[in-house]
Structure 1
């Protein structure tokens, strides 16, 4: 490496959910020089901060990498848009803002897979609490106060959602006022990462308050092209800033990858770290054999059932009139409430897809609206959508290079519904949705199934329908998973150090060995919090 290369103690690749927290924590030591790299731009786009603005951020090159999956056999050959944040704050700038930790059993499984009891729920919980600022205030063993990560109640309710919650209770799902105590079974309104009706992303929470630190450097529009190595040690990163020629930056201590479940394995493979045979076939010189890089992709596939209703207001009709749109805008302007403050999903439920399931294995996202597909116009009749996802899919996909060019999007194949277990859960989930919709609490609204349609009844029909209508809920994880010593498929050890290499650690959703039972943003923050502790301690 050129001796004139700028030198930092730590180089963090990706200023998203994990990267912003890490930059905050590591730069708290004034003697530690930190460089934070972000391929996207600043988070100064107004639609990032208005909660409903996710509609204008997903699919927008200003804020999204614009990835698509490959044609997926489990989706009957369909491709899906695969949003990933390309902006300060990363996915926390474009996601659904739902605060969700997952279930205690998720972390017990991590502890078992890694052979490290430190990943159990009781040891992870303090790292959630450290950065939490919960609307309830501090609650011993449950919630924290005064941290950077604001958690609030939603600022709206809908009659049709209250009725769905009542119907869910009639169907045997208990009420819940807190999904984050380790057992999230129940039905209730989601809590969100907002402050007074405005999105609270990790750039605002962790980065902006410390941008003035002399030892913290932030580069935007700076894409990492490959890792630089000397023998088995990673020494830095080759970075391209805008249209300038690539430059090398050196890390005296460690490079930390926070580019996410898609970007991190892509960068590793571009650097010759991965399955050597596949890399060689693309003309990339293999530098370090790690066959697990890019494998083990997991995601939550949501299956959207739409029911038309009568005698109740939904967003469909409210937002389809000029008067309704004006009222929505005025309410947000004056009160920071109403539909413009909405997370994409407001009401949630966690339950069992069938009685023989040992624990809650599906999650509902229920919305007072309906549309044919994300980005399409709302229907002109009143309706609600009950989306249900398998929390613990057994299907596994991969992220692999398409070419040796960093600017080319990788191959993303999720392999949804590729196992009998996942297809059965999909069929059972649709039946459960129908059972809830048939409960007395909803009867006065005369719900009629519009999608997928009551003509589909058998397991085979419903599983195929799930492939026709299922879509990602934007939770990819697992592509650089952690594991125990001797686990050939593991990419990092329980302290998130890349196996067989010095000077390289991963701290993002890619290290999850199995997906958490719910939305994945806040578990990623917990992972980054733990990584920061180890990095500051030098271990």
Structure 2
């Protein structure tokens, strides 16, 4: 049989039994061929299939990433929103944020969200992972445990025009290309010095054990040819796809896990059920050894719930037969909420807003196609400042409580972007206006949300309730207000102000974008800032914790081997297993965890893994 890069899932599946959900399976059924799945699943599939004795299948609900131009060109990632390559999720109405429903983009293609996110390469703070071990008992998942895998994954590409990086902290032999992408003058000569003006020191490399604090040019996962380096492009290369023991199946949506409840003392997962479309024929794929879920913080708990693993009340509500009660499935959801972006009116020619005009964008696209360079290699968020809110005082304003993971851990990230980014980039700048955006993110939220089911139909989106700004003492809001005031000071600093144009308070439509661009910023009330924040805040796309790791089945979903408590032959690895939200961007930690888990699995005493789904 010839090998193709991506396969029709029906070639590797058998028709579902028509007698209803089976409680157990015959030996013949359990011996069917089996396989791996998901964004972190790209790393797992690649590393596991290095062993020719291990047979691996990648099941992807979406399509192949290789022919999607918008996934290759870094700055075109917002063009993927609301398309077939996006799960296009929305939250429930959020009472704490003006009862708004938030758009949650999630990648629906090989590579998952690494194929459509903003490509920021960040380890987060060492103290975040120390907290995982000390507070949550996740031995083996501290920063020192993960650091070798950060380095093993990374191929850092030095750039003479960017800060000097101490090579001992960077990997140079991995498959995942990292480095510095295109940087605007206003970001380099305006934003970063402005951060220094307000007391935020510059730091060359935030991906070291010394911590994240400071203002920095953001490192990215964009390769030397100016293309996105996702988990799919890095770990499912053409050479890897040709491995005879690796099979990739797209357009294969998992509808539930297949459970054997009679062959042992605990229920055991022996495969998955899948469909290619809503209402289509059901098929099943079997696993000889294990199933590993890598569906992300939304889809992993959804699949567990659909399979009868989760809170008893939720399963009974939807008439789903209970396989294993676990009250933590879908709970402990934490996301990074960004306050309203401060849109600074910049001088002509200083930002990238001109690329919103197709005629003006064509030369940049031609440059990217021919040379792999230019402004389209930009990743939107080009520079950032990581700070601790309680170190920035504002007379007459309350100081937020310290919820950081330690003395080197931040609770605020301020991102600078040389373009308008309202409503996820969907709303362009006013005609002829150039915008530099400042966005403030609450990195250590105390508000917790849930992922539950709308119905037991796998094609219905899960019910997503992040429960933003719901913590008892309103500290999340206090943190964001503090961050907004730091942003206002940055906006007024001489370094950035020289790139900006004055705006009158009644300059429409500008006043809709940021009504506080003029006047005395110290006189803006918390009430006014809060109202504006709640009307314009958005997600930074970092949901975690819905299948959290821990030692106790009473408070967690997976153990420190990523095995689902009380269920045999089932693991999960993606952002859902984070025991606590980290103070940064999660892509690199997810990849390092997947790499580490692949070694843990291969070191298992039985030595063979036949499926990762």
**TM-score class, shorter:** over 0.9
Residues 159, 312 of structure 1: 8 Å contact kept: no
Q: Deviations over 1:249-269 (max 9, x none)?
A: 221211000011001000000
- Is 1:224–1:240's contact at 8 Å kept on the other side of the alignment? yes
Aligned ranges 1:20-31 → 2 under 5 Å: 20-31=42-53
Once the two structures are TM-superposed, the CA of residue 428 in structure 1 deviates from its matched residue by: 0.7
C-alpha contact (below 8 Å) 2:547/2:558 kept by paired residues: yes
Q: Once the two structures are superposed, what CA deviation does each residue of 1:310-360 show, in whole Å capped at 9, x if it has no partner?
A: 3652222x3355663343234323432222111121111111223165542
Q: 2:215 aligns with which of 175, 187, 195?
A: 187
Match of 2:548 among 462, 473, 481: 481
**Residues 32 and 155 of structure 1: is their aligned pair in 2 closer, same or farther, counting only changes over 3 Å?**
same
1:445 matches 2:499: yes
Distance 2:108 2:356 in 1: 31
State the match for 1:60 in structure 2: 83
Give the C-alpha shift of residue 98 in structure 1. Answer: 0.8
State the match for 2:131 in structure 1. Answer: 109
1:83-131 CA distance string (max 9 Å, x none) = 1111111111101011111000110111123324422211110111111
Could you tell me how far 1:7 is from its partner in structure 2?
4.8
The alignment status of 1:534 with 2:600, answered yes or no, reads: yes
The answer as to whether partners of 1:160 and 1:312 remain within 8 angstroms in 2 is no
Unaligned runs of 5+ in 2: 1-24, 160-164, 262-266, 392-398, 504-510, 606-613
SS at 1:11's partner residue? coil
1:404 aligns with 2:422: no
* CA 200–5 in structure 1, closer or farther in 2 if over 3 Å, else same: farther
Once structures 1 and 2 are overlaid, which stretch shifts more, 456-465 or 227-236? 456-465
1:206 deviates by 0.6
CA contact (8 A) 2:187 2:383 kept: no
Superposition TM-score, scaled by structure 2 size? 0.83
For residue 295 of structure 1, report the CA deviation from its aligned partner.
Answer: 0.7
Alignment partners' CA distance in 2, 1:128 and 1:244: 41
CA distance 1:446–1:204, shift in 2 (3 Å): closer
Deviation at residue 513 of structure 1 after TM alignment: 1.0
Q: Which residue of structure 2 aligns with residue 382 of structure 1?
A: 434
Partner of 1:13: 37
Stretches of structure 1 lacking an aligned partner (at least 5 in a row): none
Alignment equivalent of 1:236, drawn from 271, 274, 277: 271
1:210 matched to 2:240? The reply is yes
In the alignment, does 2:190 pair up with 1:166? Answer: no
Cα pair 2:389 2:411 within 8 Å, conserved? yes
On the 8 A contact 1:114/1:494 being kept in 2, the answer is: no
Task: List aligned pairs for 1:143-162, cutoff 5 A.
Answer: 143-162=170-189
Q: 8 Å contact 1:8–1:34 — kept in the other structure?
A: no
Query: Does the Cα contact within 8 Å between 2:178 and 2:222 map onto a contact in 1?
Result: yes
Please give the secondary structure, in 2, of the residue aligned with 1:123.
helix
More strand as a share of residues: 1
Q: Specify whether residues 7 and 26 from structure 1 end up closer, same or farther in structure 2 by C-alpha distance, changes over 3 A only.
A: farther
Whether the 8 Å CA contact 1:366–1:387 is kept in 2: the answer is yes
CA contact (8 A) 1:47 1:56 kept: yes
Alpha-carbon distance between aligned partners in 2 of 1:453 and 1:155, rounded to the nearest angstrom: 30
Q: Which has the larger radius of gyration?
A: 2
**Secondary structure at 1:328 match in 2:** helix
Give the TM-score taking structure 1 as reference length: 0.94
Is residue 206–residue 213 contact of structure 2 (8 Å, CA) maintained in 1? yes
Which residue is 1:277 aligned to? 313
Equivalent residues of 1:23, 1:36 under 8 A apart? yes
What's 2:567 paired with? 501
Question: Quick one: structure 1 residues 65 and 3, their matched pair in 2 at CA, closer, same or farther if it must change by over 3 Å?
Answer: farther
The answer to whether the Cα contact below 8 Å between 2:190 and 2:499 also exists between their aligned partners in 1 is no
> Which range moved further: 158-167 or 65-74?
158-167
Query: In the alignment, what sits opposite 1:77?
Result: 99
Aligned-residue CA RMSD in angstroms?
Answer: 2.2
Indicate yes or no: 2:254 matched with 1:200: no
Matching residue of 1:336: 372
| Alignment match, 2:347 | 310
Contact 2:272 2:286 (C-alpha < 8 Å) held by counterparts:
yes
Contact 1:97 1:343 in 2 (8 A): yes
Is it true that 1:48 corresponds to 2:85 in the alignment? Answer: no
Shift of 1:141: 4.7
Measured in 2, the distance between the counterparts of 1:186 and 1:203 equals 31
